[in-house]
Chains A and B, each alone.
Chain A
Amino acid sequence: MKHLLSTSDLSREDAIRILDTAEQMAATQEREIRKLPTLRGKTVVNLFFEDSTRTRISFEAAAKRLSADVINFSAKGSSVSKGESLKDTALTLQAMGADAVVIRHWASGAAERLAGSGWMHGAVLNAGDGTHQHPTQALLDAYTMRKHLIGAAEGPGAHVETATGNDLAGLTIGLVGDVLHSRVARSNVALLNTLGAKVVLISPPTLVPVGIETWPVDVVHGLDAALDKYDLDAIMMLRVQRERMSGGGNSFFPSPQEYTRLFGLDGDRMRRLPDHAIVMHPGPMNRGLEITAEAADSPRSVIVEQVSNGVAVRMASLYLLLAGEEGGA
């Protein structure tokens, strides 16, 4: 693996290898000394053109626990106010000898552009590009689903002994909310499909992209209808941007209240899920909008665990990109 740009580039074997490696990484985090020497002497740059403290510190923790040197590079610049260009930033990082660049950018395709441009030679890890992809988020989601649902006591994942080495065949996963603007949704759709799970997108018609009919998913335009029709093994509530839900000519929905009524996950809807089903959210949550406190804080919620799984998955990704086949964990 040279870069990690999109979950659609991953084969089933690639994906399982990352998830299995993440399991090993997670196991090391139970030890008294959590730091591994694996990436000693390597330099990882966190290049963030868009603020995201959560994602940045997750990558920073992952790199540091593998003993890499970490440089955080927060670059100003947007489509409106151009700062330093991506190209010049990349040339700078190349000159500084970055072995890997973790990039978050407002422009879809920025990570792919960085990897394919010849501006720098290091590994590129996409930490979110516009409304396109956020592959480590989908990998940590898949990791979390596999851990809870594959090899479990009940449910469609009970047919195998253990999660390790397995995909997500037999699971039905619901993603609820704004698919149109969501890199989390795009990443998850591709990865879950590769791993054999069925995907149900539960979304208002204004928030699914034109062209979705070619995606390997079912689309349902209401949460109640979806709960009637499917036994969801996991339900993932996507973050909704309040400004897209209210007022103005660019609104995708009449009001936040109506969104909550039709698509919000509350206690009653949560109780209609199968007993073994888990509740997920990529964070940060809008409590009271897409999810109520009752659902977010319930025993079925794995939302906080997703965060710690994120560190393990990012450790695995950095390890596979930088240490490759040559070293051991």
Chain B
Amino acid sequence: MSPSHTAQSFVIENAALLGEAESSIVVENGQITLVRGSETPLTDAEIPDGAVRIDASGLVALPGLVDLHTHLREPGREDAETIESGSRSAARGGFTAVLAMANTTPTADTAGVVEQVWSRGKEVGLVDVYPVGAVTVGLGGTQLSEMGAMAMSKARVRVFSDDGKCVHDPVVMRRALEYVKTFDGVVAQHAQDPRLTEGAQMHEGVVSADLGLAGWPAVAEESIIARDVLLAKHVGSRVHICHVSTAGSVKILRWAKAEGIDVTAEVMPHHLLLTDESVRGYDPRFKVNPPLRTQEDVDAVREGLADGTIDIVATDHAPHPDEDKDCEWGSAAMGMIGLETALGIVQKTMVDTGRLSWAEVANRMSALPSRIGRIEADHGRAVAEGEPANITLVDPDAAYTVDPAATSSRSNNSPFGGVELPGRAVATFLRGTPTYLDSRFEGMFA
């Protein structure tokens, strides 16, 4: 992919590369042309003519973040989000690529729909939008969609998911796992046994017992994960598990990886931070699927992310208009926005607590999601000479209180309103073009 317009050259100085040594990064024509430790200053000859110089003292430089699990809602629910507003929100959160889930209207289950999403993403140009294809027609769970056509389309789809719904029929799941091997694809499973979760409103446990809300038991997630890792082993396929939320799921994944099964998994920022105690008060902003779990589960997914059992963080950014949240719990839609708060939550729960270094954050939010999504030729690459200039600058000391109304998303259904986060992305570059700049850099790029 070529940049939509010629990017100018710039130099990032004194950035802590992956949170480590202070470095200078020179970018020309969308590419990183030089990276060197700050102890050896750049010579005048090394600074391109007319280059913008950014003093990044105190900032951390990461490769552009990649979200394997975003809902952009277009086509069909442009009242909630568009590819443009979602892209803007993603860039603001430090992302340079997102994978857009297939549960749109119409469903992204044909080459025509995925190409439409892909080309609209290109037009907007703020992040690379990679459509996810549906595993089954209309997410119906019975008939495989034409995954080959989507894989061979201009959108080059490699990740397939019925997210929002579980591919619950074991035979359909088996066939899908086998079939996507043709084009090195992966099935991303929304692990939720539908029969165990009919009418489910929240995690089943102490809080649901008090609140009188129908329970979503952990076993409904864990039993599907157990089945699918065994299926993946049986047919020799890789499988990806969406939004892991329970301690039991982490144990099953740990076992599966020890067995050598080709499974990867993701966790959402909200499952790293919030518990089902937040549901007391019945505020639908805390309604999400899979639901917020217990502190024990939160501790387990943090540990799983730290030790690599859970490979990546993804957002499950799920915009909903006001009327779907400003209502009683039982009528409310499930899901929460999360692109702009993801990095701050990962810092709060994983970095500031000593569980992950920034280099490991780069691994879990850029390199590994790119590899799982098979977009590693363009994203998730090292911040190094000769690589595309997909760079996110993070200010780890820019503590702020989340204001849901201030988001770039078209929806404001964030559960983090009033929560203090320790840091955030302050600049995002996609192939050398700034796609988000904090006010401190205002006017630097003409």
Contact = CB atoms under 8 A, between A and B. Distances in A.
A210 interface: yes
Interface in A129-143: 129-133
Contacts of A34: none
Main SS class of interface, A: loop
Contacts of A53: none
B364 to A, nearest CB: 32
Interface stretch (B30-38, B322-330, B394-402, B405-413): B322-330
A118 to B, nearest CB: 10
B206 interface: yes
12 contacts: A85-B331, A86-B327, A86-B331, A107-B331, A108-B213, A108-B329, A109-B213, A112-B281, A113-B327, A113-B329, A211-B204, A215-B209
Interface in A106-136: 106-110, 112-113, 116-117, 129-133
Given A85-B323, A109-B282, A183 B212 contact: yes
B326 A211 contact: no
A234 B102 CA distance: 56
Interface string A190-234: 000000000000000000011110110000000000000000000
A214 B323 contact: no
Contact of B330 (A85, A87, A106): A106
In this complex, which of A108, A110, A132 has the most chain B Cβ atoms within 10 angstroms of its Cβ? Answer: A108
A116 B281 contact: yes
Contacts of B217: 210
A130 B212 contact: yes
B212 A186 contact: yes
Interface string A132-170: 110000000000000000000000000000000000000
In this complex, which of B195, B211, B217, B328 has the most chain A Cβ atoms within 10 angstroms of its Cβ? Answer: B328
Contacts of A82: 331
B330 A79 contact: yes
A249 interface: yes
A104 interface: no
B288 to A, nearest CB: 16
Contacts of B211: 108-109, 132
Given A108-B329, A109-B282, A132-B213, 11 more contacts: A8-B210, A79-B330, A85-B323, A86-B327, A86-B331, A108-B211, A108-B282, A109-B213, A209-B208, A210-B204, A250-B198
Nearest to B195: A249
Contact of A211 (B201, B208, B283, B330): B208
B321 interface: no
B351 interface: no
A105 interface: yes
Nearest to A110: B328
A85 B282 contact: no
Given A85-B323, A214-B206, A249-B195, A113 B328 contact: yes
Nearest to A190: B210
A211 B201 CA distance: 15
Contacts of A106: 330
B308 interface: no
A131 to B, nearest CB: 4
Interface string B176-209: 0000000000000000000100100100111111
Interface string B215-249: 10100000000000000000000000000000000
Given A131-B212, A210-B208, A211-B207, A110 B198 contact: no
Interface residues of A, number: 31
Contact of B282 (A112, A131, A214, A215): A112
Given A108-B282, A112-B281, A210-B217, A86 B208 contact: no
Given A131-B212, A211-B208, A215-B209, A87 B327 contact: yes
Interface of B: 195, 198, 201, 204-215, 217, 281-283, 323, 326-331
Interface in A23-74: none
A212 to B, nearest CB: 6
Nearest to A8: B210
A82 B324 CA distance: 12
A129 B212 CA distance: 9
A105 B201 CA distance: 16
Interface in A233-271: 249-250
Contacts of A117: 326
A105 B198 CA distance: 20
Contacts of B281: 112, 116
A131 B326 CA distance: 21
A130 B323 contact: no
Nearest to B199: A79
Contacts of B329: 107-110, 113
Given A85-B327, A86-B328, A214 B209 contact: yes
Contacts of A107: 328-331
A87 B327 CA distance: 6
In this complex, which of A82, A85, A211, A212 has the most chain B Cβ atoms within 10 angstroms of its Cβ? Answer: A211
Nearest to A250: B198
A109 B210 CA distance: 11
In this complex, which of B211, B214, B217, B323 has the most chain A Cβ atoms within 10 angstroms of its Cβ? Answer: B211
Contacts of B283: 113
B237 to A, nearest CB: 31
Contacts of B209: 209-212, 214-215
Contacts of B212: 108, 129-133, 183, 186
In this complex, which of B211, B212, B283, B329 has the most chain A Cβ atoms within 10 angstroms of its Cβ? Answer: B212
A40 to B, nearest CB: 32
A58 to B, nearest CB: 21
Contacts of A86: 327-328, 331
A129 B217 CA distance: 22
A131 B208 CA distance: 10
A8 B327 CA distance: 23
A130 B330 contact: yes
Interface string A81-112: 01001110000000000000000011111101
Contacts of B323: 85
A211 B206 contact: yes
A132 B210 CA distance: 7
A245 B327 CA distance: 32
A215 B210 CA distance: 9
Given A108-B212, A108-B282, A186-B212, A79 B331 contact: yes
A8 to B, nearest CB: 8
A248 B281 CA distance: 34
A131 B282 CA distance: 13
A323 to B, nearest CB: 28
A181 B214 CA distance: 9
